[in-house]
Amino acid sequence: MVGIPNSGKSTLINKLVGKKISIVSHKIQTTRFCIRGICNFNLDNKFKSQIIFIDTPGIFLPKRRLEKAMVSAAWSELNQTDKTVFIHDVSKPFDENIKKIINKIYRIKLDIILVLNKIDLISKEKLLEKILEIKNLYNFEKIFLISARNGSGCTKLKTYLANVMPIHSFFYDEDTISDLPQSILASEITREKLFKSLNKELPYNITVETEQWKINSDKSINIQQTIYINKNNYKPIILGKKGQNIKRIGILARKELEKLLESKVNLFLFVKFKKNWMDDPSKYSSVGLNYNA
Ligand SMILES: Nc1nc2c(ncn2[C@@H]2O[C@H](COP(=O)(O)OP(=O)(O)OP(=O)(O)O)[C@@H](O)[C@H]2O)c(=O)[nH]1
Ligand SMILES: [Mg+2]
């Protein structure tokens, strides 16, 4: 699944998998690395089917090292997939930037499936106009009209994809929903809460590491995480007055982690200044990013 930032790739994959495997926010460039979401379902109530969706970082013109690694990760997945789905936010123009990306994908793939997402945001008339405009430009394998947020059109897309997947034994056992280790998912959940609650450029200068994971005798889990910032003056902003900000973020993250892990969680958050965290190769390799992209 590829597209520009904020088109709804992660929201759609979460919907198709049926559980949250990838974080979502209203800000651009939320997803930083590729995540596989595994969707098992019964096709036509007869055939067991497994589709492995790959959520990718949005494609844009990267400047910083991390951005270059993100965009390169999205492109490199295209070489390995059976089908390519391009997701476009239909409330936004189908502009030159989008066309450039699609032309570039066509140089790698013969067919592209187009998903027009966020159809809940525009009128039926506008939607028809858009479809005509796009159909005049490209001969997509298929066009799906979807609202990833409310689920409309998602079953049609899933059924179509299951029918065109190659016949193969399953790659993952049937209760696996993602290739993401729990500790990384936990870091991502905290990062999502930071994305949602911090203004402007701040979230782009933050990374979260899960540094301790301890299961207690009563089955509750102690999770210790560090939020790394690359400018010291970000610290008071994240902490907030009397630590109120970080407390609120911690509560939101803990509640979601408890739901996902189905156990009580004690979450301990720390904020540390690390000027060059974006130049630390281990921050890249741990999530499959290429440091030298
Ligand atoms: N109204 C509406 N909003 C949607 C829909 N799908 C996604 N969104 C919103 O669009 C925003 C971006 O969604 P994401 O799923 O994070 O988008 P993304 O393509 O993964 O973004 P990046 O990871 O930055 O590339 C969020 O605020 C979502 O709630 C939809 O069908 N309708
Ligand atoms: Mg995303």
Residue 104 pLDDT greater than 90, yes or no:
yes
Tens of pLDDT, residue by residue over 183-195, are 999 999 999 999 9
- Tens digits of per-residue pLDDT, 70-87? 999 999 999 889 999 999
Q: Is 57 in the pocket of ligand 1 (CB under 6 A)?
A: yes
Helix, strand, coil percentages in the chain from 3-state DSSP, rounded to 5: 40, 20, 40
Distance in angstroms (rounded) separating the CA atoms of residues 102 and 259: 38
Residue 153 has what DSSP assignment?
T
CB of 151 sitting under 6 A from ligand 1:
no
> Is the pLDDT reported for residue 153 higher than 90?
yes
> Which pLDDT band, with edges at 50, 70 and 90, does 43 fall under?
confident
Q: Is 5 in the pocket of ligand 1 (CB under 6 A)?
A: yes
Tell me if 164 sits within 8 A of 51, measured CB to CB.
Answer: no
Query: Using CA atoms, how far apart are residues 209 and 110, in angstroms rounded to an integer?
Result: 39
Which-ligand-closest: CA of 91?
1
Our answer on whether the CB atom of 56 is closer than 6 Å to any ligand 1 atom is no
Residue nearest to atom 10 of ligand 1 (CA): 8
Long-range contacts from 22-26, C-beta under 8 angstroms, 24+ separation:
22/55, 22/188, 23/188, 23/189, 23/191, 23/192, 23/195, 24/192, 25/192, 25/195, 25/196, 26/196
pLDDT of residue 172: 96
Query: Mean pLDDT over residues 159-176, rounded?
Result: 94
Read off the tokens for 199: 């203004």
Six-digit token string for 281: 């190769």
Task: Give 117 Cα–ligand 1 centroid separation in angstroms.
Answer: 9
118 lines ligand 1 (CB under 6 A): yes
Q: Determine the 3-state secondary structure of 139 from DSSP.
A: coil
Whole-number pLDDT of residue 45: 80
Q: Is the CB of 187 under 6 A from ligand 1?
A: no
Tens-digit pLDDT profile for residues 221-262:
999 999 999 999 999 999 999 999 999 999 999 999 999 999
pLDDT value, residue 252: 98
Does residue 201 register a pLDDT over 90?
Answer: no
Q: What's phi and psi for 35, nearest 5 deg?
A: -130, 130
pLDDT at 47 over 90: no
CA pair distance 116, 86, nearest whole angstrom: 9
Compute the distance from residue 140 Cα to the ligand 1 centre, in Å: 22
Q: Is the CB of 210 under 6 A from ligand 1?
A: no
Name the percent of the chain lying above pLDDT 70: 100
- CA–centroid distance, 172 to ligand 2, in Å, is 22
pLDDT greater than 90 at residue 214: yes
What average pLDDT score do residues 99-119 get?
97
In degrees, rounded to 5, the angle at the alpha carbon of residue 283 between the alpha carbons of residues 277 and 284 is 120
Confidence at residue 46, expressed as pLDDT on a 0 to 100 scale: 84
Tell me how far the alpha carbon of residue 27 lies from the centroid of ligand 2, in angstroms: 10
207 pLDDT higher than 90: yes
Q: Which residues surround ligand 2, an ion (CB under 5 A)?
A: 9-10, 30-31
* Cα 76 from Cα 70, distance rounded (Å): 10
Q: List domains and CATH numbers for the chain.
A: 9-164 (3.40.50.300), 182-285 (3.30.300.20)
Residue 108: the pLDDT is 95
- pLDDT, residue 200, reads 82
3 state DSSP class of 78: helix
Give the CB-side neighbour count of residue 35, counting CA atoms within 13 A.
30
Name the band, by pLDDT with cuts 50, 70 and 90, for residue 8: very high
Predicted confidence at residue 292, as pLDDT, reads 96
Averaged pLDDT score across all residues of the chain: 96
Q: 38: Cβ–Cβ under 8 A, 6 or more apart, which residues?
A: 17, 50, 51, 52, 53, 171, 172, 176, 177, 178, 179
Q: Is 99 helix (H, G, I), strand (E, B) or coil?
A: helix
Under the banding of pLDDT at 50, 70 and 90, the label for residue 120 is very high
